[in-house]
Structure 1
Amino acid sequence: MSRFRSLWKASLDATKKALTWNVEDLMPPTERLIFNFNSREELKKWHLYSDSEYGGSSSASLEIMDEGNGLKAEGSKWNISRSGFCGMRSKKFDGFIDLDAYDTIALKLKGDGRSYISTIYTENWVNSPGQMEDNSWQAFVFVPKDNWYIARIPLARYLPTWRGNVIDASMEMNQSRILGMSLSVNAGGGIPGARSGPGDFKVELDWIKAFRTQ
């Protein structure tokens, strides 16, 4: 009987240990690094876009900082014209990334007092006729001038958009199918009090992460 109890206890302990390991293994970390702008290889993951593709005169450039601690996007004088825009967008992930366990996107930035637009692209829920593009979700982010700043944006604050305009529809972000991200700037609009209008701009980006705060 004593030997049977010993074997049963050993089996029970092993089962408890296995169950505990499985639960911990399935629990995602509280933060997840998505992009880390610390090498020139990062440039290969991004491309620029602007209103110049549609006959506008806005322009921008991307470069890795010499000290290796960030990516700088900037435009020369008069680079944003009238209601122009410039942006940097990541190339599509190899498949997609799953951020369903997270509730916040954080960006470490240093800027010029302008308001920028953080965009998340997700797999389209429904490919309706004439609408084969990815879903896009946008939120404004203010970037203070000259000092590094960590902007934390709850995913619930991202609104569904279509070509820059908010969609008046009840939609839910497909957080398990994230295809890419972008950061852009417009000459007009944005957060009240932020610098706006045509002219030059500069923003540095160190990293982008997802956080689980609840």
Structure 2
Amino acid sequence: MPENNYAAVSLMDFSDPACAAKWHAINDGVMGGQSRGGPHVIDGQLHFTGCISLANNGGFASIRARQQHHDLSSADSVLLRVKGDGRSYQFRLYTSAHVGSSRIAYATTFKSIDNAWLELRLGFSQLKPTIRGRTLSGPAFNPAGVEEIGFLLADKSEGDFHLCIDWIKTI
């Protein structure tokens, strides 16, 4: 295995079962959809599982950890260790940035490989400001004020999903 040339700092470790209380689901039911999904911490890993439904103009499931207070200004990337199901997921960071009453998500997409662990480096430069699936022209991501961390599945494909997150670090 090649040697990594960076020092990673733990941002979220799921070995503490109390970590599960920080995570909650936001699914398309908020708009009348029928998708379901949610977080579970099992054996020190975060599992994001559920089923996407396209009924009633639905099609997304997400999880977020709220009340985070991270100054990531000394980092340039997030490092994730994930095992998925072959679907494409979004990793999302949230700051205090809003458009009207809607919170902006700074998101990037990654493709999982079915039943294989991946270590992914997601650069802050990859994060795009989005609201409800629409990419915005700004404001720029402020790594000094991360308030929420999240994952979203909105790949327009019906069916069960499962993403396992071993850890989240910054580098």
Q: Which residue of 1 aligns with 2:52?
A: 80
Matches within 5 A, 1:46-195: 46-65=23-42, 68-75=43-50, 79-82=51-54, 83-93=58-68, 96-124=69-97, 131-167=100-136, 169-188=137-156
CA distance in 1, matches of 2:35, 2:153: 11
Structure 2 letter corresponding to 1:206: D
For the residues of structure 1 that align with 2:159 and 2:138, how far apart are their CA atoms?
36
Higher strand fraction (1 or 2): 2
What's the offset of the Cα at 1:115? 0.3
Output one character per residue of 1:64-103: Cα deviation in whole Å (capped at 9) or x when no partner.
22xx23111211xxx211251001101122xx21111111
| Cα shift at 1:170 | 4.7
Q: TM-score normalised to the size of structure 2? A: 0.88
Name the SS of the counterpart of 1:33 in structure 2: strand
- Amino acid across the alignment from 2:23: W
Structure 1 counterpart of 2:17, from 37, 40, 65: 40
Q: Which SS does the other structure have where 1:187 is aligned?
A: coil
Identify which of 187, 200, 205 aligns with 2:165. Answer: 205
Checking the alignment, whether the CA contact within 8 Å between 2:88 and 2:155 is kept in structure 1 is: no
1:170–1:185: structure 2 CA closer, same or farther, 3 Å change rule?
A: closer
| Conserved? CA contact 1:62–1:74, under 8 Å | yes
Measured in 2, the distance between the counterparts of 1:62 and 1:120 equals 17
Do the aligned residues in 1 keep the contact of 2:22 with 2:65 (CA within 8 Å)?
yes
Aligned-partner residue type, residue 155 of structure 1: F
Q: Percent identity?
A: 26
Give 3-state SS (helix, strand or coil) of 1:44's partner: helix
Say if 2:102 and 2:131, in contact at 8 Å, map to a contact too. Answer: no
TM-score, normalised to structure 1, is 0.71
Contact 1:81 1:187 in 2 (8 A): no
Query: Partners in 1 of 2:155 and 2:143 — Cα distance?
Result: 29
- RMSD of aligned residue pairs (Cα, Å): 1.8
Q: Comparing both structures, which one devotes a greater share of its residues to helix?
A: 1
* Structure 1 residues 12-48: Cα deviation after superposition (integer angstroms, max 9, x where no partner): xxxxxxxxxxxxxxxxx93221111123211111101
- Structure 1 residues 5-44: aligned runs within 5 Å: 30-44=7-21
Q: Distance in 1 between matches of 2:71 and 2:102?
A: 19
